[in-house]
Homo-oligomer: A and B are copies of this chain.
Amino acid sequence: MSEECCPELPDCCDMRGLLSFQILWLVSKKSMNGQEISNELGKRRGTKPTPGTIYPALKDLRIKGSVNMERKGRTTTYTLTDNGREGLEIACKYFCNAFGEIFQEYGGLTTEK
């Protein structure tokens, strides 16, 4: 088996969305560059976002003031701003309120394999 599980994409409904939210969540755990963020997203979503997806998203988050960019040589490190951390708190509340029941009812079933 591979190192991480490989979630299949359903054909019943669209699973896009919440990319910027998930980026903020990941960056809140650890400041990372674009490739590292893409890798973390790939682990969770099954497919790594392409450059045309991830870099515009990061640019928007910078414009919103949610993350800082610091370029050093070849890589750009993204760090959560204070503003971003406050917003993320609200976003997590919103997210858990909207989707929490799905985990409570379904989430526990997949861990016991």
Contact = CB atoms under 8 A, between A and B. Distances in A.
State the majority secondary structure of interface residues on A: helix
A5 B84 contact: no
Interface residues of A, number: 48
Contacts of A64: 11-13
Contact of A95 (B11, B15, B25, B92): B15
Contacts of A97: 5, 7, 44, 46, 110
A106 B91 CA distance: 11
A61 interface: yes
A90 B10 contact: yes
Contacts of A15: 18, 21, 91, 94-95
Contact of A103 (B16, B61, B107, B110): B107
